[in-house]
Structure 1
Amino acid sequence: MIKKGIFHPQLLKLLGEVRHMDTIIIGDAGLPVPEGVTRIDLGWIENEPRFHKVLEEIVKVLVIEKATFANEAKDISPDFLQKSISILPEGLEIDYIPHVDLKEQSKQSKAIILSGEFTGYTNIIITCGCAY
């Protein structure tokens, strides 16, 4: 049995399989998951687990090259956005796109990891990097 860190089997499998330039999304509880994209739903009650906790744990184990947020997060949940950015590795490339485009790009993601977050526009596209 895993003693510490992430132990959700489906999430561990995903994190072990993603490679350079693959994208995954960490989303709030309401983000739609397109047909054919792997859904890893961690939410079990309102706001559990929190988006930031999920992001913190994934940042610990994944090489990240780029992060993409919805433009709308700047106006609707700016404090939440700033906390998200503070969790990410320093110097990371950060992009912003319309939320409708984020949902469209989600169709090409390896997986969408849903938190239990009930805060609007709390979604991130993570582009995986390479460890060497």
Structure 2
Amino acid sequence: MKKQGHLNRDIARVLAGMGHTDSLVIADCGLPIPAGVECIDVSLTLGVPGFFDVLDSILADFKAERAVFASEAQTHNAAVVEKSREMAAAQIAIEAVPHEEFKRRCREAKVVIRTGECSPYANVILHSGVIF
């Protein structure tokens, strides 16, 4: 049994297969999943697991060089804005785009990890960096 990293075999598989600039999405329970994009659904009930629980877990095991958020979060979800500031301080480039553009960009992701989060605009697209 694994001792560190992700116990969820699907998340571990996806992270191991990511290449430079590939993207993954961490989504709230309401974000539409684009046809043809793999969905790893870790939701249990409303709010469980939360967006930040999953995001922090992914960031601990994944080299992100860029993160994209919906610009609407700036007026509708202060916690997401604060997290984006923390990520910027950790040298992850941050971009904000309108939610419709965000949903369009999700079509290019390798996977959407769907959480139980139920607060507005609690979604992020993470682009893979390199560890060397």
- Contact 1:25 / 1:109 at 8 angstroms: preserved in 2? yes
* Cα distance between partner residues in 2 of 1:118 and 1:86: 21
* Partner AA of 1:22 in structure 2: D
**Partner-residue secondary structure (3-state), 1:108:** coil
Task: List per-residue Cα deviations over 1:69-111 (Å, max 9, x = no partner).
Answer: 0000000012332135425661221000000001001111000
TM-score, length basis structure 1: 0.94
Structure 2-normalised TM-score?
A: 0.94
Provide structure 1 residue ranges, at least 5 long, that are not aligned to the other structure: none
Name the CA shift for 1:128/1:102 in 2 (closer, same or farther; >3 Å).
same
Q: Please say if 1:93 is aligned against 2:93.
A: yes
Question: SS of 2:127's equivalent?
Answer: strand
Q: Which residue of 2 aligns with 1:76?
A: 76
Match of 2:3 in 1: 3
The count of residues paired between Structure 1 and Structure 2 equals 132
State the distance in 1 between where 2:83 and 2:40 align.
23
Q: Which amino acid letter does the alignment assign opposite residue 107 of structure 2?
A: K
1:128 alignment partner in structure 2: 128
Identity over aligned pairs, percent: 31
**Pairwise CA RMSD:** 1.4
Moved over 3 A (4+): none
Q: Structure 2: any 5+ residue segments left out of the alignment?
A: none
